[in-house]
Amino acid sequence: MKKVVTVKRRVLADNEAHADVLRGRFAASGTLVVNLISSPGSGKTSLLEATVKALAGELRCAVIEGDVATENDADRIRALGVPAHQILTGGSCHLDARQVSRGLAEGGFPEVDILFIENVGNLICPTTYDLGEDFKVVVLSVTEGDDKPVKYPAIFSRAEVAVISKSDLLPYVPFNLDTVRGQIASLNPEGAVLVVSSIGGDGMAGWIELLRERLEAKRRASR
Amino acid sequence: MKKVVTVKRRVLADNEAHADVLRGRFAASGTLVVNLISSPGSGKTSLLEATVKALAGELRCAVIEGDVATENDADRIRALGVPAHQILTGGSCHLDARQVSRGLAEGGFPEVDILFIENVGNLICPTTYDLGEDFKVVVLSVTEGDDKPVKYPAIFSRAEVAVISKSDLLPYVPFNLDTVRGQIASLNPEGAVLVVSSIGGDGMAGWIELLRERLEAKRRASR
């Protein structure tokens, strides 16, 4: 097992070096980069569809999609007229910074204001891989149960923003919002919690406003 | 990356050796062993709660729980009077056969008819780790969307049984059962698909019957 730990440490150090290069590049272009992480089926792609629709005509967006298989998610974004590039990881349970660099080159994106990176559906593996992002967003759907922050503490500690998704299903599932808010507050006292329905639209305005503010803050800081 | 692949191969070979020892032990005791795999929040623990309740007084059950953090799931099973042992994996995204061996020793279980292993909530990592089980069950909740089998083909190819859970929520979510059945049929033509609501009870009889038949078949084969 010691060998496994050593190799893992080397892989993470290598990833960090690539992430730093990406970070420099995103700083130079003034691009806000958001790394979205969740279980499979929590609604990351639906949130992105609603987001790029809401920002259409105001901010230039692009999306990098990470999946084990299929081009489905990138197709859904492209159908809205927004550039998207699909990274297929094969068996790997997370994206790494090298894949994002390659994806940007292959995607041939124009310069954008916000780059969304939708990570592979997984609450564990993507946590420790820096992709040069400004911040991580963890998405948790109300159908997954209100015990998830304490069961997956690493990602809920590290994500600056938690989006509680599919709030339209709250009447039909056992999910106590206060319980989840309390768990996140103790894991990550500075973290923002937003409750959103991508389909119904509830809470979307707050999410969009947060993105506008973070982009503005990044550009102010670089002036 | 070559080094990473080599280490991974060695880890899997070592796991396989431990799984074979477990398999021999389960054959000797005539214990049916079921390895449950799903995303976080798909309802594995709720399915197990309903299962051990349905089998109470008929078959002796025990549960090994795998989680990154918290003893919550084992507590839920023990509250029903069924022996359960919690394995905490720290950061690891799957159980391995060595952990199951150790968990059995630490759990000090009596001899049982069915041992359920609830793997860490993850649709990717647990796929390649044999735990000495008779078969894998993949659980997919209807809230996760009907594109998941093609997006996570490895686990849907390898699991002999797919349980589509939370069927009570079908009226409220976009989820086409025929689409999912078609995807699973092409990935795994021999696979069984069961549609279940652990809360409402729909479909539970078929699942319980499948467990009874598999246990009976295992004991018949060993006579």
Q: Does B148 touch chain A (CB under 8 A)?
A: yes
Residue A13 C-alpha, separation from nearest chain B C-alpha, in angstroms: 13
User: A222 and A134 in contact (C-beta within 8 Å)?
Assistant: no
Distance CA B78, CA B89 (A): 20
Distance CA A66, CA B139 (A): 22
Looking at 3.40.630.30, 3.30.420.40, 2.40.50.100, 3.40.50.300, the CATH number of the domain A2-221 comes to: 3.40.50.300
Q: What is the pLDDT along chain A (223 residues), one digit of tens a residue?
A: 677 788 889 999 999 999 999 999 999 999 999 999 999 999 999 999 999 999 999 999 999 999 999 999 999 999 999 999 999 998 899 999 999 999 999 999 999 999 999 999 999 999 999 999 999 999 999 999 999 999 999 999 999 999 999 999 999 999 999 999 999 999 999 999 999 999 999 999 999 999 999 999 999 998 8
Record the pTM: 0.96
Q: Does B79 touch chain A (CB under 8 A)?
A: no
What ipTM is given for this predicted complex? 0.95
pLDDT at A32: 98
pLDDT at A200: 96
pLDDT at B1: 60
Q: Report long-range pairs for A83-92 (Cβ below 8 Å, ≥24 apart).
A: A83/A107, A83/A109, A83/A110, A83/A112, A85/A109, A89/A120, A91/B124, A91/B128, A91/B154, A92/A68, A92/A120, A92/A125
Q: Which residues of A touch B121 (CB under 8 A)?
A: 39, 123, 151-152
Q: Which residues contact A78 (CB under 8 A, 6 or more apart)?
A: A84
User: A184 and A193 in contact (C-beta within 8 Å)?
Assistant: yes
Distance CA B127, CA A180 (A): 29
Q: A146: nearest CA in chain B?
A: B41
Radius of gyration of the CA atoms of chain B, in A: 17
User: A36 and A120 in contact (C-beta within 8 Å)?
Assistant: no
User: What is the DSSP-derived secondary structure letter of residue B110?
Assistant: P
pLDDT at A6: 86
Q: Which residues of A touch B165 (CB under 8 A)?
A: none
Q: Does A4 touch chain B (CB under 8 A)?
A: yes
| pLDDT digits 0-9 by tens, B106-149 | 999 999 999 999 999 999 999 999 999 999 999 999 999 999 99
pLDDT at A4: 78
User: B147 and B123 in contact (C-beta within 8 Å)?
Assistant: no
Number of H helices, E strands in chain B: 8, 7
Closest CA to A93 of B162, B40, B50, B205: B40
Q: How many C-beta atoms lie closer than 10 Å to residue A35's C-beta?
A: 25
> End-to-end distance of chain A based on CA atoms, in angstroms?
48
